[in-house]
Structure 1
Amino acid sequence: MIPSPAFPEVPALVVGHVSHAREVPLRHAFRHRSYQWLIDVDDPPRLPFWLRPLAGFRVEDHLDAGSSGRGVRGDLGVFLAARGVFLAPTDRVLMLANARVLGHVFDPLTVFWVQSDDGVLRAVVFEVHNTYGDRHAYLLDIDRRGHARIDKAFYVSPFNDMAGSYEIQLRVDPGEVAVTVGLDRDGVRVLTATTRGVPEPATRRALLRVSLTHLLMPHRVSALIRFHGIRLWLRKLPVLTRPAAQKEATS
């Protein structure tokens, strides 16, 4: 059994930056300001009507789009049960994700933590989204250092095929939330992506502040992904064939 991380108070705004460094076959790196939400899926933020356009959470944005009929938690339970992990009624499910802003969301990576009521980390699930509207979830085998490795099984970027494996490092505590994902292929690090931020209580004042300093965050994420993709294309990085469209199935 692995002890659960010391999670910060939720709901929280995790304010920091996202960085990306491609090593081969050419060097390309960037760093941008960002923020995400850390929430309990059973107790999402309750905002006054005038703030709701700045932070919305919908079941259709994750996993099997609510096909279980029991929200995100229900879909996660079906996904885990198919892999031999059974979600108990007393388990707490925390989610690190982008919220909808003015009706739009793009969430490259969502992380789910399942925490038992006796302080054990029961499961960690990564859900990866691409710009084609597809998504795929991975059940991670996390060690006590927050480290995991898993084979790549989902087409994310037009500049990477399905080969390789992910090396993942998670850190969650009241002072920092950080997720690092490295793509390795044939013993070579292809790229490393990191999101890192400081959690703070998601008060109305804090939400207004980050909404102004990180204007239209999900829209910016969508635009920046395409901007950097065009830069790589102009630098002659080969575009690889995309396989048939993938839609996450929880079973």
Structure 2
Amino acid sequence: MTAWPDHIAGSTTHARMGEISNAFRYGVDFVLIDPEERAGPALFSRNRFNLFAVHDRHHGGERGNGVGLSWALEQLRAAGLDRPAKITLLTQPTCLGYQFNPVSFWLVHEGDDLVCVIAETNNTFGDRHSYLCHLPGFAPISPKDTITAVKLMHVSPFQDVSGTYRFNFLVDQDRISIRIEHKNGDQGVIATLSGRRAPMTNTSVLRALIRRPLGTLRTISLIYWQALKLKLKGAVYRPRPSPPNEETSACSMSANV
């Protein structure tokens, strides 16, 4: 890639498992940025208003009061990894100032190898929890590696805060594909994000706004629409429990499948 940042005009899918099924697929726009780089097309900005923007306060640490890259580096040091060769942030950009991200990903590379991912999850109740995903000794993560973590934060009000997440990551020069499975007995959800990487341009930003008007405002609207559909199907609503005390939790195990 000769330009920076990247624009991933991809898709996300969700499939609910259990006695009440529900599935959907939507187009979505993510950007992949170097947190220390401020370059980009005129319609994209860092830490200021624009059609597309990424703000440090939205990532890394307390929700709404994030500090960006320094937080990610602190989490990695605490896990035993000194400053790696490269850290990038995969996230939905703010659109005309509005921001909501169900999940963003800090991608940690040593050379060409992906060695760690911090999955920064947010719910619609104002909570945040991050899952630090890596293999023993921060070995390179391949698409065949499944990294498992205990679910600790309330995400969907129609799922219990129990069970495990199973993460799979494919990150290469051309494409990003992420799969997250929540498994809780015969209940759960499979969610995916995938798309091709391309340099962000003013044209790609404008095309995104034409294809998917209002960006992340559209995302939150679709979340509530799917919640209404589940309620009408008879899904049981779970009130929000207290959020986890820990800001970040590490993977509990890893397996090659």
Work out whether the TM-score is over 0.5.
yes
Query: Counterparts in 2 of 1:202-241, with a 5 A limit?
Result: 202-241=200-239
CA contact (8 A) 1:112 1:124 kept: yes
Question: CA distance change for structure 1 residues 50 and 73 in 2, over 3 Å: closer, same or farther?
Answer: closer
| Aligned counterparts of 1:100 and 1:25: Cα–Cα separation in 2 | 36
Task: Report the residue type matching 2:42 in the other structure.
Answer: P
| Aligned counterparts of 1:8 and 1:135: Cα–Cα separation in 2 | 34
User: Partner of 2:182 in structure 1?
Assistant: 183
Query: Counterparts in 2 of 1:9-158, with a 5 A limit?
Result: 10-48=4-42, 53-65=50-62, 71-88=67-84, 91-116=85-110, 118-142=111-135, 143-144=141-142, 145-158=144-157
4+ residue runs over 3 A deviation: 7-10, 44-47, 49-52, 65-69, 118-122, 245-251
Question: CA distance change for structure 1 residues 100 and 68 in 2, over 3 Å: closer, same or farther?
Answer: closer
User: Partner of 1:4 in structure 2?
Assistant: none
Instruction: Measure how far apart 1:10 and its partner are.
Output: 3.6
Q: Secondary structure at the match of 2:79?
A: coil
Q: Deviations over 1:136-182 (max 9, x none)?
A: 11111244334311111111110112111111111112332111111
CA contact (8 A) 1:141 1:149 kept: no
| Aligned counterparts of 2:245 and 2:126: Cα–Cα separation in 1 | 8
Instruction: Measure how far apart 1:208 and its partner are.
Output: 1.5
Question: CA distance change for structure 1 residues 74 and 166 in 2, over 3 Å: closer, same or farther?
Answer: same
Q: Considering Cα pairs closer than 8 Å and 6+ residues apart, tell me whether 1 or 2 has the greater RCO.
A: 1
What residue ranges of structure 2 are gaps of 5+ in the alignment? 136-140, 250-257
Task: Report the residue type matching 1:121 in the other structure.
Answer: L
Q: How many residues align?
A: 240
CA contact (8 A) 2:91 2:104 kept: yes
Instruction: Measure how far apart 1:96 and its partner are.
Output: 0.8
Q: Secondary structure at the match of 2:204?
A: helix
Q: What root-mean-square deviation, in Å, do the aligned CA atoms of Structure 1 and Structure 2 show?
A: 2.7
Task: Report the residue type matching 1:78 in the other structure.
Answer: E
CA contact (8 A) 2:11 2:194 kept: yes
Task: Report the residue type matching 1:126 in the other structure.
Answer: A
Question: CA distance change for structure 1 residues 120 and 49 in 2, over 3 Å: closer, same or farther?
Answer: closer
Q: Secondary structure at the match of 1:53?
A: coil
CA contact (8 A) 2:44 2:53 kept: no
Q: Deviations over 1:12-67 (max 9, x none)?
A: 11112111110212110111111111111111443437975211111121121599
Q: Deviations over 1:62-106 (max 9, x none)?
A: 12159999x411011122222222225xx2111110111111111
| Aligned counterparts of 1:133 and 1:161: Cα–Cα separation in 2 | 18
User: Partner of 1:3 in structure 2?
Assistant: none
Q: Secondary structure at the match of 1:224?
A: helix
| Alignment TM-score, normalising by the size of structure 2 | 0.83
User: Partner of 1:195 in structure 2?
Assistant: 193
Q: Higher strand fraction: Structure 1 or Structure 2?
A: 2
Q: Secondary structure at the match of 2:148?
A: strand
| Aligned counterparts of 2:125 and 2:65: Cα–Cα separation in 1 | 24
Instruction: Measure how far apart 1:8 and its partner are.
Output: 9.0
Question: CA distance change for structure 1 residues 68 and 237 in 2, over 3 Å: closer, same or farther?
Answer: closer
CA contact (8 A) 1:68 1:75 kept: no
Question: CA distance change for structure 1 residues 8 and 175 in 2, over 3 Å: closer, same or farther?
Answer: farther
Question: CA distance change for structure 1 residues 237 and 250 in 2, over 3 Å: closer, same or farther?
Answer: closer
Q: Secondary structure at the match of 2:68?
A: helix
